[in-house]
Amino acid sequence: MGRRGFDSGRRGHDWIELMQPTATLSVRWVSSVEDIPLDLWARCFAPPLEGPWWYRTIDRSGLESQFTFAYAIIERGFDPVGIAPAFLMDVPIDLVAPPMIARLLRVAGKVIPRLRYQRTLFVGSPCSDEGTVGLLPGVVLAAVGPIIHDALSLRARQVGASMIVWKDFPDTASAALELLCASRGLFKLVSYPGTRLPLTGGGFSTYLQTLTSHNRYNLRSKLRRSKEAGDLHVTVLQRPDPLLLDEIFALFWQTYQKGKTKFELLTPRFFQLIAAEDVSHFILLRHPQTGKLVAFMLCFRIGPRVVNKFIGLDYGFDGSWFLYFRLWEQAIDWASRIGATDFQSGQTVYRAKLDLGHRLIPLTNYCQHRNPLLHQLFARVARNISWATLDKDLAHHSSASG
Q: How confident is the model at residue 18 (pLDDT cuts 50, 70, 90)?
A: very low
What pLDDT is stored for residue 23 in this prediction?
A: 62
**pLDDT band at residue 107 using 50, 70 and 90 as cut-offs:** low
Task: Please choose, from the candidates 305, 358, 340, 331, the residue with its C-alpha nearest in 3D space to the C-alpha of residue 193.
Answer: 358
- Is residue 304 within 8 A of residue 340, CB to CB? The reply is yes
Contact 57, 298 (CB under 8 A): no
Omega before 48 within 30 of 0, i.e. cis: yes
Cα angle: 344, vertex 215, 287; to 5 degrees: 70
Mean pLDDT of all residues in the chain? 89
Average pLDDT over residues 39-56: 95
> What is the arithmetic mean of pLDDT over 253-277?
86
The residue type of 186 is L
pLDDT confidence bin for 261, thresholds 50/70/90: low
Domain with CATH 3.40.630.30 in the chain: 15-192+362-401, 195-360
CATH class in words for 15-192+362-401: alpha beta
Are 278 and 315 contacting, i.e. CB atoms less than 8 angstroms apart? no
Per-residue pLDDT at 260 = 63
**Per-residue model confidence (pLDDT) at position 10:** 38
pLDDT for 2 equals 40
* CA R_g for the chain: 22
Listed residue (164, 188, 116) closest to 381, CA to CA:
188
State yes or no: pLDDT of 13 exceeds 80: no
What confidence tens digit (pLDDT) does each residue in 129-159 have? Answer: 899 999 999 999 999 999 999 999 999 999 9
Per-state percent for the chain, helix, strand, coil, to nearest 5:
40, 25, 35
> Above 70 in pLDDT, residue 289?
yes
> Whole-angstrom Cα distance, residue 324 to residue 316?
13
Write phi, then psi, for 32 (nearest 5 degrees).
-140, 145
131 SS3 class? coil
How is domain 195-360 classified at the CATH fold level? Aminopeptidase (3.40.630)
CB-facing half-sphere around the CA of 158: CA atoms within 13 A: 18
Q: What pLDDT is recorded for position 112?
A: 63
Q: Which residues, 6+ apart, have CB-to-CB distance to 205 below 8 Å?
A: none
Residue 64 is predicted with a pLDDT of 86
Q: What is the mean pLDDT of residues 188-206?
A: 93
Using DSSP, state whether 76 is helix, strand or coil: strand
C-alpha–C-alpha distance, residues 31 and 296, integer Å? 33
